[in-house]
Amino acid sequence: GESVGLHLPTLSVQEGDNSIINCAYSNSASDYFIWYKQESGKGPQFIIDIRSNMDKRQGQRVTVLLNKTVKHLSLQIAATQPGDSAVYFCAEAGGSQGNLIFGKGTKLSVKP
Amino acid sequence: GAGVSQSPSNKVTEKGKDVELRCDPISGHTALYWYRQSLGQGLEFLIYFQGNSAPDKSGLPSDRFSAERTGGSVSTLTIQRTQQEDSAVYLCASSPGLLYGYTFGSGTRLTVV
């Protein structure tokens, strides 16, 4: 069935380094993608989104890249900080009801 | 309110009991979603409401699950005859419509003992 998956379940980086979290999606018809951050005990928090007519979008310290040819999405975090430690989910608007489909998540750990 | 509010934040119930989970979306958001998150897992879609329209219930895991949304605002997710496998965090989200980012509540952690 339709699914969104992540290449790496865990990622450990040094404070100050850049982080890259990758995601593969399967529904080529999906036209909207979002990255969420979830801290322990909290609901997912919106980070950045991108529509399929774009291949790159930048926010504050974050960049999302979309490669529709290979159905790949990535989240880049610049100068990673301890506060960035969380689980990151990619999601695509590819559900049968137009809902977001979420992957299992990547846990990012930032070492001081 | 300023965000999506869910209650209760934690619920422990005995197997076989019924539970009701409540979601109060952001004012003006027409779309409301329920997801379930099991420990260490991703988010499983349950049901979606758009305004006052009748929802598609095909994402609900069994007929013990039901949901309603009154007046296009507050939503209640009801689980009848709870089972241990129902233990999870139930997340509610709202958005201005399709193809917009969701704002999630903090969830209700349900434990069935």
By Cβ distance, the residue of B93, B99, B104 closest to A32 is B99
pLDDT (tens digit per residue) in B38-59: 877 789 999 999 887 888 888 8
The rounded percent of chain B whose pLDDT value lies above 70 is 99
Are A99 and B101 an interchain contact pair (Cβ–Cβ within 8 Å)? no
Is the pLDDT reported for residue B27 higher than 80? yes
Q: What is the pLDDT of residue A4?
A: 57
Mean of the pLDDT values across residues A76-95? 94
By Cβ distance, the residue of A49, A97, A98 closest to B101 is A49
* Chain B closest-CA separation from residue A88 CA (Å): 10
The rounded percent of chain B whose pLDDT value lies above 90 is 74
Using a CB-CB cut-off of 8 Å, the residues of chain B touching A88 are none
Distances (CA, A) of B74 to A26, A99, B13, B28, B58: 33, 19, 23, 11, 21
Q: What is the pLDDT of residue A81?
A: 97
pLDDT (tens digit per residue) in A56-82: 999 999 999 999 999 999 999 999 999
Are B104 and A43 an interchain contact pair (Cβ–Cβ within 8 Å)? yes
Instruction: Say yes or no: A39 contacts chain B, CB-CB below 8 A.
Output: no
pLDDT, chain B, mean: 92
Q: What is the pLDDT of residue A6?
A: 44
CA angle, B7 as apex, B5 and B10 as ends, to 5°? 125
The rounded percent of chain A whose pLDDT value lies above 90 is 71
Are B98 and A93 an interchain contact pair (Cβ–Cβ within 8 Å)? yes
Distance CA A16, CA A45 (A): 22
| Residue A83, φ and ψ in degrees, nearest 5 | -70, -10
Instruction: Say yes or no: B38 contacts chain A, CB-CB below 8 A.
Output: no
